[in-house]
Chain A
Amino acid sequence: GAVVSQHPSWVICKSGTSVKIECRSLDFQATTMFWYRQFPKQSLMLMATSNEGSKATYEQGVEKDKFLINHASLTLSTLTVTSAHPEDSSFYICSAGTGGFGETQYFGPGTRLLVL
């Protein structure tokens, strides 16, 4: 299957700092990428849909000014958590679609963020 990578795999930061997470589709081009967040013992929650060359679409309740998403190319989307606080500590996962009718989404390995 298609491969999606994320970097970094884990990050620890101080409260108030910003953290950038990269999501790359390694062997295919992805017009659309998705960002999810998963808290312990919970399911994945979609945060936003990232479209190449345009603004991201955020789910209800997700602060667009806090979670900045950039999708500058067909293989790279970034999520920046601005002014991170301990409650932002979570597992952030991206996915990318292969496109087309009945397309499949492939997920990255996730980034674990711990804000102290």
Chain B
Amino acid sequence: DAKTTQPTSMDCAEGRAANLPCNHSTISGNEYVYWYRQIHSQGPQYIIHGLKNNETNEMASLIITEDRKSSTLILPHATLRDTAVYYCIVRRTGTASKLTFGTGTRLQVTL
């Protein structure tokens, strides 16, 4: 699976949009971009995933560049409860394809 690069940490003011970037320049055509987050001492929580089109759900939006070499996760109105480590993972399609976690971005939402 393609490797991803994320900033180590980011800060965001509560109520503002949090934009978390991810580079995946070696992504293949059959690989999806997944985002998970892990709040301290909990299991990772699925946020969103996409192949090439932008995606939006109740938690976030995922913007994937046209060449698919990078993406941005957008939390439109960050709250203190969004403080977590966010993982961008590129993964092959198909059942039983494992997730490989990098170091992620530690997002700190502040008052």
Q: List residues of A whose CB falls within 8 A of some B CB.
A: 1, 4, 6, 31-32, 34, 36, 43-46, 49, 51, 91, 93, 95, 97, 99-110, 112
Contact = CB atoms under 8 A, between A and B. Distances in A.
B93 interface: yes
Q: Interface residues of A: mostly helix, strand, loop or mixed?
A: strand
A102 B96 contact: no
B17 interface: no
Nearest to A4: B43
| Dominant secondary structure at the B interface | loop
B96 A31 contact: yes
A106 B47 CA distance: 10
Given A102-B49, A102-B51, A104-B49, A44 B94 contact: no
A46 B96 contact: no
